[in-house]
Structure 1
């Protein structure tokens, strides 16, 4: 169904953080319309998703869409070494930057009820968070608080979205039933500051650990990060879809 295909593509934009509009006679400036039954609808959908990027960065108050620079994740908890005094860290209030600067590399539209898939590239993303740790790192007691910063380069995401359709007031509406995100981070640099009253030795030990074990830290972080991101963007998608119908995005040939 062409309606299902187009809406599914629009929801993929929610990962990179959404495409939405209020149904009225005037097409808002942040919407790039596509033509119904266009044989190259995928290309138009990609143009539409790229068109909205600057609006996503600042937010669109009239449709209750907050700015996505940054968006926030509540927490991630990581057990980085084993044993009774294993080194554990908790990151709280993670502000994530760079989500509006995305490129849709490939789209696979829904067929026979299968999820739509999109491959998305983010050139750079960064995270600022509050940091808490406990346990022993090498031979040092590593309990303390501070700040955490991460720079990610060339982040690739594979997004899968399952949607359902319903009609209301003779218009077509949709719901994001399930969203899954797989991530690949090509390069990462992570560091902490101001640990335990700016204890220099502990700061240096933790940063050395993060430099030498960055891939392992990312591997441990990834399952939670995927789940948290999918939850955040699914919630945003369904909040937006309360205000959005398919007819806003499609026009007759």
Structure 2
């Protein structure tokens, strides 16, 4: 789900940028008005119209290419319940993130809140991993190549922002303070290469166990993944928002 953070960031950035005055935005962005009674639907249409640009990126909005989507590093530390793992993933590449369906957008301007519902038919991930710990009392250790296929992903994300006065400009800006995500994966298939120092028998047995019990494993590490997604999202989005006053993103 690492790619979801970047997709969410893209969507919320678009929510802001589509309302910027025409002289400040790329010509391919559909303009939506703050007081439009159909603002949610307008935003949804705007995002859908930008879908073709996602694969190669949108330099004007500082959106990197999303096929594949590259994430330098993710660290997960889980030590509660039957899962006790410390793992690091590097050189992450994710395919399929631009094939999302934006099912709904709900914007509450007064509360600085955005709620998104998305559907992702398939995500394919490849990364370098380093892992050590226990899964349901079974030891697991290894480093090498990790592959994962995830299908039928339903996502609900709520983004909470706040307004603040910039010390540099004296103007009111917007920033993301909280990001809540709930995702449901229909099916998953993963493979970790070089487990147990390359012991083929143990490695195959553990990979079989992980795929047979992926729902249990996913449920246990979900809080750690949600925190990781939240941190990535807030950092990415706030770099953009800090550059533009709120009256530029949402003109009166």
**What's the TM-score once normalised by structure 1's chain length?**
0.75
Q: C-alpha displacement at 1:158, in angstroms?
A: 1.2
In the alignment, the residues of structure 1 paired with residue 37 and residue 151 of structure 2 have an alpha-carbon distance, to the nearest angstrom, of 35
2:206 matched to which residue of 1?
Answer: 206
Q: Is the 8 A contact 1:12 1:118 kept in 2?
A: no
CA 1:164 to 1:96, structure 2 compared with 1: closer, same or farther past 3 Å?
same
Number of corresponding residues: 239
CA 1:87 to 1:46, structure 2 compared with 1: closer, same or farther past 3 Å?
closer
Q: RMSD of the alignment, in Å?
A: 3.7
Runs of 5+ unmatched residues, structure 1: 1-10
In the alignment, the residues of structure 1 paired with residue 119 and residue 98 of structure 2 have an alpha-carbon distance, to the nearest angstrom, of 11
Residues 105-124 of structure 1 deviation map (CA, whole Å, 9 limit, x = unaligned): 12232165273311111111
Q: Secondary structure at the match of 1:113?
A: coil
Q: Is the 8 A contact 1:15 1:233 kept in 2?
A: no
In the alignment, the residues of structure 1 paired with residue 156 and residue 192 of structure 2 have an alpha-carbon distance, to the nearest angstrom, of 29
Q: Normalized per residue, which structure has more helix? A: 2
Runs of 5+ unmatched residues, structure 2: 1-5
2:226 matched to which residue of 1?
Answer: 226
In the alignment, the residues of structure 2 paired with residue 177 and residue 136 of structure 1 have an alpha-carbon distance, to the nearest angstrom, of 33
In the alignment, the residues of structure 1 paired with residue 165 and residue 21 of structure 2 have an alpha-carbon distance, to the nearest angstrom, of 14
In the alignment, the residues of structure 1 paired with residue 21 and residue 112 of structure 2 have an alpha-carbon distance, to the nearest angstrom, of 27
Q: Is the 8 A contact 1:34 1:249 kept in 2?
A: no
Which of 122, 127, 130 pairs up with 1:129?
A: 127
Residues 190-244 of structure 1 deviation map (CA, whole Å, 9 limit, x = unaligned): 1112335543212211211112111111112211111111111111111111344
- Structure having the higher Rg: 1
1:70 matched to which residue of 2?
Answer: 69
Q: Secondary structure at the match of 2:221?
A: helix
